Chain A
């Protein structure tokens, strides 16, 4: 009752607001009102007020955005009889309206994200039986060994935990392939993995035919297992020890629960982070999704399955005939089906797995194409807004998640809109300079401020735009093709463990340079026109300014597609773990500083390490999280550095069997707290001004780097490194 009355009050206030906002007041009034509102918003932001104030600030922003929409709709569209202006003008208008609609959906979703749940691990009493599925298609044995070992090492009663390797790379279909090479590889893989599974005490399961891709593979696993709960990990997602303890308890609280999703945490940078070198300082792209959006979705019981790092209920899955597989994003589709059937989901905001993400730009785009195409398929086949069984908030949440992937369209339009004016003199946005200032500038400011308010420490200014831009170029054709041919796309597994040994341009980088060149020409045209046509300099300046923003973005993108060569093929993770270092039979106390899946770096406390030579064998002894007894791991020394009493030694593991993989997994993946700590360290909010200045500097530098890669070709690596050093200095 109380809820109804507050909704009524809200509706009345909102109606008054709409009436107020749609008054055709004059330009001066708009200018003053937007100045006042933007100022108020800025004050609230500077004071860092949260709670109700956060919503007040968002309401301020919404008011300005809606004023902009009203003005844009009523007075800026070119006349219909000028088709050459009207058509691009309408497209631009639709693109902007799409953005506003997405902003409104986001506001709804993340107005008050659910605060992270308190740790559940210690309260868990009942231990239902769990089947852990690790679907694999073509991943490397070592990678699988680490994941399986980590899964096996999870803190859970051993008799309730069964780990399954669901191998789609060794199916009968593949083994009996008519292509000899392929069949030989499949047979070898089949045997090797079978062997590994035996060693790790893990079930190996494969099937006859590769039908329905990942969903089919998982359904095959469902058929052959009988645990109450299903945990799914991608082949490269190694769980921490406390994964099950943090998640299974929720199924006990809510019998209608079908999903507990946890964030995906990546220990390697994506190509953007790698090439721009922001991995250690700036929050990752997916942190916005897992840090805020999933929590927002969780508030509306709409957190969805992301394919991995989640626990699902067998009862729920079986009620819907397992995982759905119409689209190539079976995860979201499955969640949508189960939500529609009245099941609930929750999201636990604690990184409990560590995974890998695509390292090259091309495979990054490949992965995103799959997501975009899959979401388009869901939009097409399971239109969430009209799906039965969903609550209204759930419908909106799913619409937001799927519609998001239409972003290539507005991006492209924003990219080309200024060129219509600069090159062809088309007026696709009829407004004077002062109107632009009063409406558009206020709108853009408010947009930036709202973004910063919503995602502040999870997403720095302009980074969303950069990500969208770098994806747009190749995603647009993918999205268009799925729209024309919705059943065509097939599931392609993303390669994630590639490495780049030499600096080079990505193989799909050419369009970025073309676009950049066009924008530079547009900049030249702008300058020429400001002088040659002073009577419309104001419009030229505004449009030219817009082009410059695009130029800054696409300049930065040049850096993204210029892939840096990297020596270490795998990422090091900082740990701080007591250990002992043995050379021969002499033991020194040491601490493990950082580890990767290939090796570790230790600080050894001993003045006298003269005997140790590079290339010699040694033993590291430490206490694993999973046991009380000390264990040993053989290594080869690769690197020695003497610093006073401390000798820093870099070494490479020499895994001799499945048991050693368990130890490596324990060293690298077991402790989930280290992921949390690492993420927290990057979560800073630089603010709009500092963020913008930072981005400008980044863009300038990356532009020059991209151009250098282009002109000097592959051989430019050395000069590049020198320049990098200079830039850093």
Chain B
């Protein structure tokens, strides 16, 4: 209390604050007559006089003003945000002489403040060319502070240093470039970032690698090329305590990651067990998740003690001053009104986010202050799926026939001299995408290849890692493709984020000969132009129930609920709540807004509404399990083996496995060969010959599984129920934390997805029978496309309809012909 000297941040005048619609402006909601002091946002008392800092950064204020409104609304936070700042180095340049002395004074006194920057657990640059780009959010203080960039890497032995380069770009400007030559051990690299290059808000960080093989020239050899960047040793270090300071709640966006690419919120709520706290807390979790937008976020609830601080971690203390008494001394202003501010914990000295108020109602209001900027009406469309914190630019969300140039998708015009070129881009599609079976997207390729490229080379397109099409290069003597259509099956598209990879396999005679140093040739063989286009046709749009892929893609159907989604939590212990918060946080990110939830403990009140059930399996009502087509016996039988027990073998021998082992008779063999041929060439197997989807089988989780997520329609078939469960609350929390990671979350699909904690293996039970839920207004074209997709997946039905149609046509034609014309 004594050390926290609350200071109103009127850094910006009230008028300016309103003009830029700051996230915490509640003027519109405030009842008249109440004191206007409610939006109290406090800064911790800094060591240096507070007044100096604003002065120093005064010219900079213009920059945050510009970025702030854009950053608040995530969909608008396009890469363009970054662009204008690169071109305005003049402004920071003026700042430097003023700011520098201040920092220099502080430098020797305090250790450098580190911010890890790699949002992945492992970061590898592969192949002959690779490029990864994402944005990191910096507070104004961080942007202003002198910074050093550190990274460490090791590369494959076969990478030829003289022909390989690693480039680091910040805000599209090269800040470091070097040969790749650290095959034996990890090399640390450190360099200063030019002053003025960093900006408050989003900064685009790009790693680019060009790698060539030492000896081999074949395409196969390019798969041996890699450079690993160690996330734990890759960070920005800022000089001075100033950079560490979190002044406004906007700093939540700058939380960043730890050395393993994770982000963790520790929420301390002494009154966690009280009923009524769950709902605001889950809203808070979603808001925090959305504000930072990080890929691997976890939430951890605790009731006592402030956990240790660290990079990529943030402690949030929530409660009335009275409740907080044992853990944290809330400022007296919390007694009078809602409060959301950064404060310094007197014990550990860490900065934490304090949310307090005289009552839980006031706390809810405070939470709203933090969360409301992320709110969005579920009915409004967003144009982007925000991904820039781990892969930039954000993915455009495509709802209907659209053409996007590669430039818009972040693919640059590139010349390439190696043998395997690859580049990727992201697009997002809505949850009611229903064109897997029939749909085809098109890439209109603008590219060129040199005359030494041999026919037989090809360009492959992958969708989410599965090959979608191959376009052979058939002409020799070089060529230019101008808007060459490459059709891509949409079979591997899924709701939410999709990654398309374009790979060019270039074969030349020189590579066959492979003279020494041939790999280091820089004569371009291939060029890709950013005028190429990705064209998505109008596609069938109808939601499917169940469809966990849509749940994982955009949080469907909960993202579209206009009324709060029912959340069934039987026992609100810390583990279950942490799991719920982590899950909802991830859902909020994919949904683009916080999903309103209404926690309940009574399953009977749910019936006709969309609902999420979360809890250990024994806590779940058995009727829910039977609704999910999960064996009721698993409530008692599903127990992961305790360490002492011998690991149960995962017996997964199938008849299909045995079929390949027997030779069969002559006729049988012929038939099998035919079947294989059909499968190879047309992707048709006996099982795909069907009239209707087959019915669902009852699922029993194996004891190797430690986590399960299932979705099904409710008993009255008018709502979607999703069950997230595990044998125990601990497993549940571990499972959710694992599955919400950026790598594993997209793998959730089908009607049931199970996860095995020990092996990290994820299995899915595909949806066989599902309901179509109309998500779009009635339109003939949409119905036509829906029918096309349904019939394309139930092949025999189409043949049947065609036969029936022809039969009727023939009969009716006969009947007409017997009536008109001459007929004697």
Instruction: Name A's B-contacting residues (CB within 8 A).
Output: 2-3, 6-7, 9-10, 13-14, 16-17, 19-21, 23-29, 31-33, 35-37, 40, 51-53, 55-60, 62-63, 75, 79, 81-82, 111-112, 114, 117, 298-301, 393, 425, 427, 430, 433-434, 438, 533-536
Instruction: Please tell me if the beta carbons of B814 and A301 are within 8 angstroms of each other in the complex.
Output: no
Query: Is B798's beta carbon under 8 Å from chain A?
Result: yes
Instruction: Please tell me if the beta carbons of A393 and B805 are within 8 angstroms of each other in the complex.
Output: no
A53 to B809, CA, bound (A): 11
Q: Would you list which residues of chain B between 449 and 478 have a CB under 8 Å from chain A?
A: 455-456, 458, 472, 474-475
Given A28-B682, A51-B814, A393-B821, do A37 and B791 touch, yes or no (CB 8 Å)?
Answer: no
Q: Which B residues lie within 8 Å of A59 (CB)?
A: 806-807, 809-810, 813
Instruction: Please tell me if the beta carbons of B805 and A20 are within 8 angstroms of each other in the complex.
Output: yes
Q: Name the contact of B791 in the complex, choosing from A6, A29, A58, A63 (C-beta under 8 A).
A: A29
Instruction: Please tell me if the beta carbons of B812 and A10 are within 8 angstroms of each other in the complex.
Output: yes
B413 to chain A, nearest CB (A): 19
A32 to B792, CA, bound (A): 10
Instruction: Please tell me if the beta carbons of A25 and B438 are within 8 angstroms of each other in the complex.
Output: yes
Instruction: Please tell me if the beta carbons of B810 and A32 are within 8 angstroms of each other in the complex.
Output: no
A57 to B818, CA, bound (A): 17
B596 to chain A, nearest CB (A): 38
Q: Name the contact of B802 in the complex, choosing from A28, A36, A58, A298 (C-beta under 8 A).
A: A36
B215 to chain A, nearest CB (A): 26
Q: Which A residues lie within 8 Å of B475 (CB)?
A: 425
A304 to chain B, nearest CB (A): 15
Q: Which residue of B lies closest to A51 (CB)?
A: B814
Instruction: Please tell me if the beta carbons of A434 and B814 are within 8 angstroms of each other in the complex.
Output: no
Instruction: Please tell me if the beta carbons of A25 and B814 are within 8 angstroms of each other in the complex.
Output: no
Q: Which of A16, A32, A111 counts the most chain B CB atoms within 10 A?
A: A32
What are the 10 A-B residue pairs with the smallest beta carbon separation, nearest first?
Answer: A56-B810, A59-B810, A535-B456, A59-B806, A36-B799, A33-B799, A59-B809, A23-B788, A26-B792, A52-B814
Query: Is B824's beta carbon under 8 Å from chain A?
Result: yes
Q: Name the contact of B472 in the complex, choosing from A17, A26, A52, A535 (C-beta under 8 A).
A: A535
A246 to B439, CA, bound (A): 63
Q: Would you list which residues of chain B between 411 and 462 have a CB under 8 Å from chain A?
A: 437-439, 455-456, 458
Instruction: Please tell me if the beta carbons of B437 and A55 are within 8 angstroms of each other in the complex.
Output: no
B785 to chain A, nearest CB (A): 7
A569 to B317, CA, bound (A): 116
Q: Which B residues lie within 8 Å of A31 (CB)?
A: 682, 684
A299 to B485, CA, bound (A): 48
Q: Name the contact of B812 in the complex, choosing from A9, A51, A53, A298 (C-beta under 8 A).
A: A9
Q: Which A residues lie within 8 Å of B483 (CB)?
A: 79, 81
A535 to B455, CA, bound (A): 8
Q: Interface of chain B, helix or strand or loop or mixed? A: helix
Instruction: Name B's A-contacting residues (CB within 8 A).
Output: 437-439, 455-456, 458, 472, 474-475, 482-485, 487, 681-684, 688-689, 784-785, 787-788, 791-792, 795-796, 798-799, 801-803, 805-824
Instruction: Please tell me if the beta carbons of B811 and A26 are within 8 angstroms of each other in the complex.
Output: no
Q: Name the contact of B801 in the complex, choosing from A20, A298, A299 (C-beta under 8 A).
A: A20
Q: Which residue of A lies closest to B435 (CB)?
A: A24
Q: Which B residues lie within 8 Å of A40 (CB)?
A: 803
Given A28-B795, A535-B456, do A57 and B810 touch, yes or no (CB 8 Å)?
Answer: yes
B749 to chain A, nearest CB (A): 20
Q: Which of A10, A19, A25 counts the most chain B CB atoms within 10 A?
A: A25
Instruction: Please tell me if the beta carbons of A52 and B485 are within 8 angstroms of each other in the complex.
Output: no
Given A10-B813, A434-B682, A535-B474, do A26 and B437 touch, yes or no (CB 8 Å)?
Answer: yes
A19 to B791, CA, bound (A): 13
B176 to chain A, nearest CB (A): 41
A685 to B438, CA, bound (A): 41
Instruction: Please tell me if the beta carbons of B816 and A7 are within 8 angstroms of each other in the complex.
Output: yes
How many residue-residue contacts, CB under 8 A, span A and B? Answer: 162
Q: Can you spell out 22 A-B residue pairs with CB atoms less than 8 angstroms apart?
A: A23-B784, A23-B787, A28-B683, A28-B684, A31-B684, A32-B689, A32-B798, A36-B799, A52-B811, A55-B817, A60-B810, A63-B805, A63-B806, A63-B809, A82-B482, A114-B822, A114-B823, A114-B824, A300-B822, A434-B681, A536-B472, A536-B474
Instruction: Please tell me if the beta carbons of B811 and A62 are within 8 angstroms of each other in the complex.
Output: no
A580 to chain B, nearest CB (A): 45
| Known A63-B809, A111-B817; further 20 A-B contacts with Cβ < 8 A | A2-B819, A6-B819, A7-B816, A9-B815, A13-B812, A23-B784, A23-B798, A25-B791, A25-B798, A26-B792, A28-B682, A28-B792, A29-B795, A32-B795, A63-B805, A112-B817, A393-B821, A433-B681, A534-B456, A536-B472
Q: Which residue of B lies closest to A540 (CB)?
A: B474
Q: Which B residues lie within 8 Å of A301 (CB)?
A: 821-822
B564 to chain A, nearest CB (A): 39
Q: Which A residues lie within 8 Å of B484 (CB)?
A: 79, 82
Instruction: Please tell me if the beta carbons of A37 and B799 are within 8 angstroms of each other in the complex.
Output: yes
Q: Which B residues lie within 8 Å of A57 (CB)?
A: 810
A668 to B683, CA, bound (A): 66
A6 to B818, CA, bound (A): 10
Q: Name the contact of A37 in the complex, choosing from B688, B795, B803, B812 (C-beta under 8 A).
A: B803
Q: Which A residues lie within 8 Å of B821 (CB)?
A: 112, 299-301, 393
Q: Which B residues lie within 8 Å of A51 (CB)?
A: 814
Q: Which A residues lie within 8 Å of B458 (CB)?
A: 535
Q: Which B residues lie within 8 Å of A29 (CB)?
A: 438, 791-792, 795, 798-799
A27 to chain B, nearest CB (A): 7
Q: Which A residues lie within 8 Å of B792 (CB)?
A: 25-26, 28-29
A52 to B812, CA, bound (A): 9
Q: Which A residues lie within 8 Å of B820 (CB)?
A: 3, 7
Instruction: Please tell me if the beta carbons of B824 and A37 are within 8 angstroms of each other in the complex.
Output: no
Q: Which B residues lie within 8 Å of A534 (CB)?
A: 456
Q: Which residue of B lies closest to A2 (CB)?
A: B819
Given A117-B824, A536-B474, do A79 and B805 touch, yes or no (CB 8 Å)?
Answer: no
A307 to B487, CA, bound (A): 55
Q: Which residue of B lies closest to A18 (CB)?
A: B805
A65 to chain B, nearest CB (A): 11
Q: Which A residues lie within 8 Å of B788 (CB)?
A: 23-25
Instruction: Please tell me if the beta carbons of B456 and A533 are within 8 angstroms of each other in the complex.
Output: yes
A556 to B483, CA, bound (A): 43
Q: Which residue of A lies closest to B437 (CB)?
A: A26
A79 to B446, CA, bound (A): 13
Q: Which of A59, A62, A114, A434 counts the most chain B CB atoms within 10 A?
A: A59
Instruction: Please tell me if the beta carbons of A111 and B482 are within 8 angstroms of each other in the complex.
Output: no
Q: Which B residues lie within 8 Å of A14 (CB)?
A: 809
Q: Which residue of B lies closest to A107 (CB)?
A: B813
Q: Which residue of A lies closest to B817 (CB)?
A: A112
B433 to chain A, nearest CB (A): 15
Q: Which residue of A lies closest to B819 (CB)?
A: A3
Q: Which B residues lie within 8 Å of A36 (CB)?
A: 799, 802-803
Q: Which A residues lie within 8 Å of B811 (CB)?
A: 52, 55-56
Q: Name the contact of B799 in the complex, choosing from A2, A32, A425, A438 (C-beta under 8 A).
A: A32
Instruction: Please tell me if the beta carbons of A32 and B819 are within 8 angstroms of each other in the complex.
Output: no
Q: Which B residues lie within 8 Å of A56 (CB)?
A: 806-807, 810-811, 814
B358 to chain A, nearest CB (A): 62
B593 to chain A, nearest CB (A): 34
B531 to chain A, nearest CB (A): 12
